[in-house]
Structure 1
Amino acid sequence: ALFESGAILIYLASKTGRFIPADTAGRYETLQWIMFQMGGIGPMFGQLGFFHTFAGKEYEDKRPRDRYVAESKRLLGVLDQRLQGRDWVMGDEYTIADIAILPWVRNLVGFYGAGDLVEFSQFKNVARVLEAFVARPAVVKGLTIPAA
């Protein structure tokens, strides 16, 4: 049995030979971005979502929420810089890094409704790549499962 989404993505990419570069340098650079999502984007966006959308919004003390807003903006800035002049996180090639990162970005601005809070409109490269991501046929199909 295998758990944790990053480990599952790495396993599937290795097993199928898809969505991860074959060369050693490209492979480890992709894994680096998987770790960026696992250690940064997932936890920070998730905490921001809690404090903005769920029970945390009732807390009088806004410092926890503001801390996650600031860190989420920093992470979006790192990602935006990485995507400058690139189609995907790894350049021309769509990889497990995109599969790990972009759903969190989508949920941050969509499900959690925190786009204005993190000033998402300033992250033009992230917005551009997110738009391309949600237009991919497999993503479109996946977003309809289960059917509403």
Structure 2
Amino acid sequence: MSTTYSRPQFRLAPTPTSESRDFWTGGARGELLIARCRDCRRFFHPPGPACFRCRSTNVAPEPVSGLATVAAYTVNRQPWIPGLEPPYIVAMVELDDEPDVRLITNVVNVSLDDIAVGLPVEVFFEDWTDPSGDEDTRVWLPLFRPRSA
């Protein structure tokens, strides 16, 4: 049994850095942008100035498929953030494009009984702007839901 997702009233949105800005704004174009080394061709996250595998600084964000698998999860049942009502699922998802690249995110549109390690999921984005209205603080949060059939 799945549940229908309702956008929360409030989220603690990130403040993008020069290295993470593409990750947080790619959703404007429907793209999940992950840092990729142009020398060893491997993706990595979080984004940084160098590839942690080969130490190359020849890195840039590239779009990935947005398909992933739930690797681990927890159900938050405490009202930690006003406007983000529990229960909700916090998950670590592994990207299909590079399984050792993992993101911490929310998985939505799935019941607490049906969430499971190994669940195939897909990305979608929520557009959030700082309440001040400053466009420089606008981000698109990558969230995941079960893959459509």
Q: Same fold (TM over 0.5)?
A: no
TM-score tier, shorter chain, comes to under 0.3
TM-score (norm 2): 0.27
TM-score (norm 1): 0.27
